[in-house]
Chain A
Amino acid sequence: MSGNDVLQIVIYFTVLVLLAKPLGIFMARVYEGQPVFLGRVLGPFERLFYRLCGIQPEEEMGWKQYALAVLLFSLSGMFAVYALQRFQGALFLNPQKFPAVTPGLSFNTAVSFATNTNWQNYGGESTLSYLTQMAGLAVQNFVSAAAGMAVLVALIRGFKRHAANTIGNFWVDMTRGVLYILLPLSVLYSFLLVSQGVVQSFDKYKTVALTQAVTYETPKLDALGNPVKDAKGNPVMMESEVRQQQIPLGPAASQVAIKQLGTNGGGFFNTNSAHPLEDPTPFSNFLECLAILLIPAALCLTFGEMVGDRRQGWALLITMMLVLAPLTVLGTWSEQGGNPHFASMGIDQAAGALQPGGNMEGKEVRNGIVSSTVWATWTTAASNGSVNSMHDSYTPLGGMIPLVLIQLGEVIFGGVGSGLYGMLIFAILTVFIAGLMVGRTPEYLGKKIEIFEMKMAAFMVLIVNALIKIGTALGVSTKAGLAGISNPGPHGFSEVLYAFSSFADNNGSAFAGLNGNSLFYNTIGGMIMFIGRFWVIIPVLAIAGSLAKKKHVPAGLGTLPTHTPLFVVFLIGVIVVVGALTFMPSLALGPIAEMFTH
Chain B
Amino acid sequence: MGRKKERSKSKSKKSLFESRIIRRALWDSVKKLNPVYQIKNPVMFVVEAGSVLTTALFLHSVITGRGEASPGFIFQIAVWLWITVLFANFAESMAEGRGKAQADALRKTRQEVMAKRMTKPQRDTPRDSNVTQVPSSQLKKGDVVLVEAGDIIPMDGEVVEGVASVNESAITGESAPVIRESGGDRSAVTGGTMVLSDWLVVRITSNPGETFLDRMISMVEGAKRQKTPNEIALDILLAGLTIIFLLVTATLLPFSIFSVKAAGHGSPVTMTVLVSLLVCLIPTTIGGLLSAIGIAGMDRMIQANVIAMSGRAVEAAGDVDVLLLDKTGTITLGDRQATMFIPAPGVDAHVLADAAQLSSLADETPEGRSIVVLAKEKYSLRERDIHALGAHFVEFSAQTRMSGVNMDGREIRKGASDAVEKYIQKEGGTFPQEVRHIVDDIARQGATPLVVAEGKKVLGVIRLNDIVKGGIKERFAEMRQMGIKTIMITGDNPLTAAAVAAEAGVDDFLAQATPETKLKLIREHQAGGRLVAMTGDGTNDAPALAQADVAVAMNTGTQAAKEAGNLVDLDSNPTKLIEIVEIGKQLLMTRGTLTTFSIANDVAKYFAILPAAFISIYPALGALNIMHLATPQSAVLSAVIFNALIIIFLIPLALRGVKYKPLGAQVVLRNNALIYGVGGLAVPFLGIKLIDMLITALHIV
Contact = CB atoms under 8 A, between A and B. Distances in A.
A584 B585 CA distance: 35
B668 A429 contact: no
A523 to B, nearest CB: 19
Interface stretch (B366-374, B383-391, B464-472, B479-487): B479-487
Contact of A462 (B243, B255, B319, B610): B243
B116 to A, nearest CB: 49
A264 interface: no
Given A433-B592, A582-B248, A556 B483 contact: yes
Most buried by A among B315, B481, B620: B620
Nearest to A453: B233
A441 B243 CA distance: 24
Contact of B262 (A459, A489, A585): A489
Interface stretch (A67-75, A80-88, A255-263, A471-479): A471-479
B315 to A, nearest CB: 7
Interface string B207-234: 0000000000000000000000110111
B154 interface: no
Nearest to B595: A433
B162 to A, nearest CB: 46
Nearest to A557: B483
Contacts of B120: none
A204 to B, nearest CB: 45
A588 B614 contact: yes
B254 A473 contact: yes
B281 interface: yes
Given A472-B251, A477-B257, A596-B620, A439 B589 contact: yes
Contact of A597 (B245, B603, B620): B620
Contacts of A593: 259, 614, 617-618, 620-621
B259 A564 contact: no
Interface string A421-459: 000000001001111111111000010011101110111
Nearest to B664: A557
A469 B528 CA distance: 45
Contacts of B110: none
A581 B237 contact: no
Contacts of A462: 240, 243-244
A488 interface: yes
B497 to A, nearest CB: 24
Contacts of A459: 240
B610 to A, nearest CB: 5
A556 B321 contact: yes
Nearest to B673: A570
Nearest to B611: A588
A597 B618 contact: yes
B585 to A, nearest CB: 3
Interface in A546-598: 551-554, 556-561, 564, 566-567, 569-570, 573, 577, 580-582, 584-586, 588-589, 592-593, 596-597
Contact of A449 (B233, B240, B257): B233
B313 interface: no
A459 B240 CA distance: 7
Contact of A437 (B252, B263, B589): B589
A205 to B, nearest CB: 40
Interface of A is mostly: helix
A560 B243 contact: no
B280 to A, nearest CB: 11
B158 interface: no
Interface residues of A, number: 67
A257 to B, nearest CB: 38
Given A436-B588, A441-B315, A490-B618, A585 B252 contact: yes
B455 to A, nearest CB: 57
Contact of A577 (B589, B591, B599, B673): B599
B340 to A, nearest CB: 39
Nearest to A455: B236
Nearest to B321: A556
B484 A558 contact: yes
B591 A436 contact: yes
Contacts of A107: none
A338 interface: no
A454 B243 contact: no
A454 B236 contact: yes
A121 interface: no
A461 B240 contact: yes
Contacts of A554: 321, 528-530
A106 to B, nearest CB: 30
B502 interface: no
B247 A470 contact: yes
A450 B228 CA distance: 11
A558 B660 CA distance: 12
A592 B602 contact: no
Interface in B250-308: 250-252, 254-259, 262-263, 277, 281
A585 B610 contact: yes
B483 A586 contact: no
- Central interface residue in B245, B255, B485, by most chain A CB within 10 Å: B255
B624 interface: yes
B73 interface: no
A564 B591 CA distance: 23
Nearest to A552: B529
Interface string B670-687: 101100110000000000
Nearest to A452: B233
Contacts of B617: 589, 593
B693 interface: no
Interface string B652-674: 00000000100011101110110
Contacts of B589: 436-439
Nearest to B244: A465
A455 B241 CA distance: 12
B600 interface: yes
Given A455-B236, A581-B281, A589-B259, A440 B318 contact: yes
Contacts of A268: none
A343 to B, nearest CB: 18
A459 B669 CA distance: 27
A91 B515 CA distance: 79
A434 B673 contact: yes
Contact of B665 (A432, A482, A558): A558
B258 A476 contact: yes
Interface in A318-334: none
A569 B295 CA distance: 32
A477 B256 CA distance: 10
Contacts of B624: 588, 592, 596
A158 interface: no
Q: Which of A472, A570, A584 has the most chain B CB atoms inside 10 A of its CB?
A: A584
Given A461-B244, A566-B670, A580-B603, A441 B665 contact: no
Contacts of A469: 247-248, 250-251
Contacts of B600: 577
Given A432-B233, A438-B669, A582-B245, 10 more contacts: A439-B660, A449-B233, A451-B236, A466-B247, A490-B262, A493-B258, A553-B530, A585-B252, A589-B255, A596-B624
3 shortest interchain CB distances as A-B pairs:
A558-B483, A436-B592, A458-B240
Interface of A: 162, 429, 432-441, 446, 449-451, 453-455, 457-459, 461-462, 465-466, 469-470, 472-473, 476-477, 482, 488-490, 492-493, 551-554, 556-561, 564, 566-567, 569-570, 573, 577, 580-582, 584-586, 588-589, 592-593, 596-597
Interface of B: 229-230, 232-234, 236-237, 239-241, 243-245, 247-252, 254-259, 262-263, 277, 281, 315, 318-319, 321, 480-485, 527-530, 584-586, 588-589, 591-593, 595-596, 599-600, 602-603, 606, 610, 613-614, 617-618, 620-621, 623-624, 660, 664-666, 668-670, 672-673, 676-677
17 contacts: A429-B237, A433-B596, A433-B599, A436-B592, A436-B595, A441-B229, A450-B229, A458-B239, A461-B244, A482-B258, A552-B529, A558-B665, A585-B252, A585-B613, A588-B614, A593-B259, A596-B621
